[in-house]
Amino acid sequence: MKHTLEVMISEQEINQALDTMAEQINRDYAGVDSLLVVGLLKGSVIVMSDLVRRLDGNVQMDFMTASSYGSSTESSGDVKIVMDLAQSIKGRHVLLVEDIIDTGRTLSKVLALLNSREPASLAIASFLDKPTRRVVDVDVKYTGVAIPDEFVVGYGLDYAESYRQLPYIAKVVPSDGE
Ligand code: 5GP
Ligand code: MG
Ligand code: MG
């Protein structure tokens, strides 16, 4: 599809939202001896690296890949773990980091799986949130920016695997010629 990009959230706005998220997280985990930050690949890679550099204390990182089959722009809820965590999370304080929560299907499945492994605590930080799109109720404790129902790219988010590297978040606008 022919398209253009329209900046929706600038790099400066992203940094402000990250500062606020990190402040809340640092306050909430101040008494905890170690925090395991888990990123969902690939989308969370950029926000994860920016967020952990703002966190205090003993922070560890791990990653998992959950694949959600469906159309290119909407997840189906049929979520498969393509790559699992490298370590046990039993008794650990876990913070799950996502790029965006849309219907909530992906996060609710991943959350149920991780909860079954008996972490000491499990909370979600999602940089973007499309609240009007929610199908499954998920408790997202830390959110960066709430956005309207638009397909966005950049800052980790892709369109057919492109644009993840953009330092800002942009709206994909279809243009003439299809
Ligand atoms: P959910 O399961 O909450 O519907 O979908 C979450 C996943 O769908 C995100 O992790 C992301 O991969 C994808 N997604 C949802 N909305 C957008 C969007 O606006 N842009 C992009 N690039 N991906 C999105
Ligand atoms: Mg994602
Ligand atoms: Mg994607």
CATH for 119: 3.40.50.2020
Q: Where are the alpha helices (DSSP H) in the chain?
A: 11-28, 45-52, 105-115
pLDDT in tens, 81-90: 999 999 999 9
User: What is the extent of the structural domain holding 125?
Assistant: 3-174
Q: How far is the CA of 161 from the centre of ligand 3 (A)?
A: 7
Question: For this structure, is 62 an active site residue?
Answer: no
- How many domains are contained in the chain? 1
Tell me the β-bridge partners of 37.
Answer: 61, 95
Question: How sure is the predictor about 67, in pLDDT bands with cuts at 50, 70 and 90?
Answer: confident
The mean per-residue pLDDT over the stretch 122-143 comes to: 97
Q: Which residue, judged by its Cα, is nearest atom 23 of ligand 1? A: 157
Distances (CA, A) of 95 to 9, 25, 72, 131, 176: 24, 9, 27, 20, 43
Q: How far is the CA of 43 from the centre of ligand 3 (A)?
A: 7
Task: Report the SS3 class of residue 78.
Answer: strand
Backbone angles phi, psi at 74, to 5 degrees: -140, 130
pLDDT in tens, 8-43: 999 999 999 999 999 999 999 999 999 999 999 999
